[in-house]
């Protein structure tokens, strides 16, 4: 149903005030359409969630933005809040609660059933951004001595309460993970066959304390919809499904893009973030970059005598520093993206450096030739602009461009890897930061080349 038609029908039902019809209408719509309705009518968001069957309300709540979720929880009656939280999958519930203040979490946990409360507290005990926070403790497990018929009976009994039954997990009496077997293997096997006969012991498992990026890499390298999560002693604790990992990857990607742009990561949608908080997120980096750019003025002052003797050198300062900054920004963006998707790692630093040296030389040579050609053309049209030493000036600009672009590509490619090695976020070496660094050093390279090539002529 189109959003316009959906809103018209919903408005009509609101006017009638018939809660039974509203409930039936909401339960007949797609989950994504109801989410759009929530965003369209923020004043009715709690009524929409409360007016749906609980399993459908959970489906809508899961895909809403956190600020909207928070407002809904704050305005729902306690009984509805408890019902919604108890029905939410443990991993989604944990993701929601970890964003809330601790006092709010304590109050909400009190509303949960004892079993759900225990699961939630367990998941919240794992470090932030760990696999344990994504883990869902509801899964189907069997023992190696079970028959296929017994496994199918187990699936029928407990499968409806699990997030996925695509994979069945085999454990021993100690709860240790032995194997994971796709459900199709059981469906196609003889009912009297033992689980042990289907095992190949080639299971892939995540540790609960692994970083969530490890889970992302594991799913990329293996064709799985879910992976088991174990403790340090190989006890099966839960599973992580691919939809949760894709959600985390999307969040990480958004944060990296914001950091690359020279701002702190936003923890709310842009339009919903208060202006003062948005200001605080942006001003810190702007001050840092401004202070960095002040070094550019210091470098210019250091070469004041050279500029006074050959004012024409100042004409090419914007060209030089922008070329270096642009090449550095290109390189840093490419390396950060490649590291994020696992195309390169820290051990590839030498290969990256060699490639960037080659790239920097090629790019710098082309830009240097363009710079020299520009001076040649302008001198041909108006010879008085650059005077009799126009060729040496052109060589100076060309060689400086080669050096600055080469330096920019090296800074842009190596800085993310250095930060990663130090345990920092590579995205912090954002394009503006690299550009600022290269601006300052680019001036030093430019005027040093000018001093060597133009001494005794213009200088």
pLDDT digits (tens, 9 = 90+) for 198-217: 988 778 888 888 888 788 87
Q: Cα separations (Å) of 89 from 53, 120, 377?
A: 16, 10, 69
Q: Return residue ranges of the chain for CATH 3.10.580.10.
A: 141-241
d(CA 287, CA 303): 25
Please tell me the CATH superfamily of domain 141-241, with its number.
CBS-domain (3.10.580.10)
CATH topology of domain 270-454: Tetracycline Repressor; domain 2 (1.10.357)
Q: Return residue ranges of the chain for CATH 1.10.357.20.
A: 270-454
d(CA 230, CA 126): 13
Pick the CATH number of 3-125 from 1.25.60.10, 1.10.8.60, 4.10.520.10, 3.40.50.720: 1.25.60.10
Confidence (pLDDT) at 310: 63
Confidence (pLDDT) at 439: 79
Q: Return residue ranges of the chain for CATH 1.25.60.10.
A: 3-125
d(CA 83, CA 50): 10
Confidence (pLDDT) at 264: 58
Prediction pTM value: 0.55
Q: Cα separations (Å) of 254 from 248, 263, 267, 269?
A: 10, 12, 10, 11
Residues of the chain with pLDDT under 50: none
Confidence (pLDDT) at 403: 92
**Residue 263 contacts residue 281 (beta carbons within 8 Å):** yes
**Residue 320 contacts residue 446 (beta carbons within 8 Å):** yes
Confidence (pLDDT) at 146: 93
Phi and psi based region of residue 114 (left: phi greater than 0; alpha: psi -120 to 50; beta: remaining): alpha
């Amino acid at each position: 149903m189109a959003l316009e038609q959906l809103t018209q029908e919903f408005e009509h039902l609101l006017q009638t005030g018939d809660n039974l019809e509203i409930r039936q209408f909401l339960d007949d719509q797609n989950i994504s359409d109801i989410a759009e309705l929530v965003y369209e009518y923020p004043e009715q968001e709690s009524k929409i969630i409360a007016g749906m069957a609980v399993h459908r309300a959970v489906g809508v709540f899961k895909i809403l933005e956190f600020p909207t979720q928070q407002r809904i929880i704050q305005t729902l009656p306690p009984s509805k809040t408890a019902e919604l939280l108890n029905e939410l999958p443990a991993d989604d519930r944990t993701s929601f609660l970890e964003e809330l203040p601790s006092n709010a979490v304590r109050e909400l946990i009190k509303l949960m059933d004892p079993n759900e409360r225990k699961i939630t507290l367990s998941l919240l005990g794992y470090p932030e951004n760990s696999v344990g926070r994504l883990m869902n403790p509801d899964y189907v497990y069997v023992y190696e001595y079970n028959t296929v018929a017994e496994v199918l009976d187990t699936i029928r009994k407990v499968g409806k309460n699990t997030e996925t039954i695509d994979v069945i997990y085999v454990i021993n009496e100690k709860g240790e993970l032995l194997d994971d077997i796709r459900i199709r293997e059981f469906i196609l096997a003889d009912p009297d066959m033992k689980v042990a006969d289907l095992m190949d012991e080639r299971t892939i498992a995540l540790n609960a304390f692994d970083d969530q990026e490890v889970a992302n890499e594991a799913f990329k390298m293996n064709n799985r919809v879910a992976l088991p999560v174990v403790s340090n002693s190989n006890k099966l604790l839960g599973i992580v499904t691919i939809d949760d990992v894709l959600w985390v990857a999307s969040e990480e990607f958004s944060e990296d893009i914001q950091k690359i742009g020279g701002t702190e990561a936003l923890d709310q949608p842009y339009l919903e973030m208060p202006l003062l908080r948005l200001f605080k997120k942006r001003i810190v980096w702007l001050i840092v970059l401004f202070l960095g750019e002040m070094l550019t003025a210091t470098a210019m002052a250091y070469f004041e005598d050279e500029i006074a003797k050959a004012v024409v050198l100042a004409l090419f300062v914007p060209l030089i520093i922008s070329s270096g900054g642009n090449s550095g920004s290109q390189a840093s963006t490419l390396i950060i993206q490649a590291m994020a998707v696992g195309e390169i790692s820290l051990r590839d630093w030498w290969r990256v450096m060699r490639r960037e040296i080659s790239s920097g030389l090629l790019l710098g040579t082309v830009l240097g030739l363009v710079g020299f050609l520009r001076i040649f053309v302008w001198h041909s049209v108006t010879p008085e602009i650059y005077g009799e030493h126009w060729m040496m000036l052109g060589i100076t600009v060309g060689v400086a461009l080669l050096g600055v672009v080469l330096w920019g590509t090296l800074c842009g490619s190596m800085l993310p890897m250095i930060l990663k090695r130090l345990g920092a976020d590579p995205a912090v070496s954002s394009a503006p930061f690299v550009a600022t660094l290269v601006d300052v050093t680019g001036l030093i390279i430019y005027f040093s080349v000018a001093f060597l090539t133009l001494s005794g002529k213009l200088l």
